[in-house]
């Protein structure tokens, strides 16, 4: 494409190692929390453990996706492998939504079928989990700025930290107030937050994979802006999409009033590309030029259009 935008914020050299470390740490934490949840009878602690297990899988997917996305364009994938990270994010978020729905079911079940709880175990396990979650989120924070994939993994751990705080407080309420109903309530809160955050990111990721128009871009505004440039009669068959979260592409048929030379035509083309890049962040443009007399819009059968 001719445009190389580095969004790693200086983390490219260390990100893979960090991701692998966080995978190992989260797997260890999940095993610990599952055991503690089984011993204490806490569904909230089991929920946190399940969430951490999903995080470990999400981070592993993030690691693999980052590796794939660095491959350059080839004959099979002429736009490169950038969308590998988006596919990774889609897998993560779909799994997380399923986890959230399961937690809702389990919490509701516990309201009608409560079980005895060991608050001391819940507090101890939640305290350990909180420390691990905060450290993992801190490691992923700088990497999350330039990637939906890593951002999804970062949000998972940030959510886990909040969930661990809630479980810790719930354990205290069970120990000192004997409020066993707090456990499923906390589980519902964790599940609700998981579903809310995941659905928003899933919508954004799906929009890119479906080649939808960027949410902050108006095709009508883009069309009017290009038509206002010198020498341009009209614009039609406009397609704007995102190759990934940092690269936008444009295809359009441009009807020009008159171009006396190839140099003038190239000048108009460069003007459109520069304007699109500076005002709409479109760095890849494919433009098909037509004269006023031979515009495919004037052809009733559309024989000259290849949209």
Instruction: Please report, for the chain, the start and end positions of each structural domain, with discontinuous segments joined by +.
Output: 12-209, 219-298
Structure tokens at 282: 């479109």
The predicted structure's pLDDT at residue 21: 79
Q: How many CB atoms lie within 10 A of CB 170?
A: 28
- Give me the tens of pLDDT residue by residue for the chain, a chain 307 residues long: 333 333 333 334 335 677 777 788 878 888 888 888 888 888 788 777 877 777 777 677 767 777 776 777 778 877 777 777 788 778 878 888 888 898 888 888 888 877 778 888 888 888 988 888 888 777 777 666 656 666 766 776 777 777 788 888 888 888 898 888 888 888 888 788 778 878 888 888 888 888 888 888 899 999 999 999 888 888 999 999 988 777 899 999 999 877 667 888 888 899 999 999 999 989 889 999 888 766 675 554 444 455 5
The predicted structure's pLDDT at residue 165: 84
CA distance 157 to 178: 29
Q: Which CATH number fits domain 219-298: 3.30.70.1350, 3.30.56.10, 3.90.1150.10, 3.30.499.10?
A: 3.30.70.1350
The predicted structure's pLDDT at residue 17: 74
The predicted structure's pLDDT at residue 4: 38
Buried b (16+ CB within 10 A) or exposed e, 261-277: eeeeeeebbeebbebbb
CA distance 293 to 289: 12
- Of the CA atoms within 13 Å of residue 47, those in its CB half-sphere come to 35
DSSP summary character for residue 113: S
CA distance 79 to 94: 25
Write the class of the CATH domain 12-209: mainly alpha
Evaluate whether 56 touches 27 at the Cβ level (below 8 Å): yes
Evaluate whether 302 touches 265 at the Cβ level (below 8 Å): no
CA distance 188 to 106: 9
């Amino acid at each position: 494409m001719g445009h190389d935008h580095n969004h790693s914020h200086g983390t490219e050299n260390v990100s893979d190692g960090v991701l692998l470390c966080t995978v190992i740490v989260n797997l260890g934490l999940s095993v610990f929390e599952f055991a503690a949840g089984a011993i204490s009878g806490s569904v909230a602690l089991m929920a946190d453990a399940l969430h951490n297990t999903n995080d470990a899988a999400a981070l592993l997917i993030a690691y693999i996706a980052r590796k794939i996305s660095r491959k350059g364009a080839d004959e099979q994938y002429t736009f490169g492998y950038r969308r590998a990270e988006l596919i990774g994010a889609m897998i993560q978020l779909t799994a997380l939504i399923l986890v959230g729905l399961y937690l809702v079911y389990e919490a509701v079940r516990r309201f009608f079928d409560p079980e005895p709880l060991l608050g001391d175990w819940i507090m101890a396990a939640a305290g350990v989990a909180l420390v691990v979650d905060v450290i993992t989120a801190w490691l992923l924070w700088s990497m999350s700025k330039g990637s939906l994939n890593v951002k999804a993994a970062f949000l998972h751990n940030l959510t886990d930290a909040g969930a661990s705080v809630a479980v810790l407080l719930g354990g205290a309420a069970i120990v000192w107030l004997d409020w066993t109903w707090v456990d499923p309530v906390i589980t519902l809160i964790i599940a609700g937050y998981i579903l809310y955050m995941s659905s928003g990111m899933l919508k954004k990721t799906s929009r890119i994979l479906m080649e939808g128009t960027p949410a902050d871009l108006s095709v009508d505004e883009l069309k009017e802006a290009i038509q206002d440039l010198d020498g341009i009669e009209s614009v039609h068959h406009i397609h704007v999409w995102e190759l990934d979260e940092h690269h936008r592409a444009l295809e359009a048929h441009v009807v020009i009033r008159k171009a006396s030379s190839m140099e003038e035509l190239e000048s108009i083309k460069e003007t459109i590309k520069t304007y699109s890049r500076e005002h709409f962040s479109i760095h890849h443009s494919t433009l098909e030029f037509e004269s006023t007399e031979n515009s495919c819009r004037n052809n009733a059968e559309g024989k000259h259009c290849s949209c």
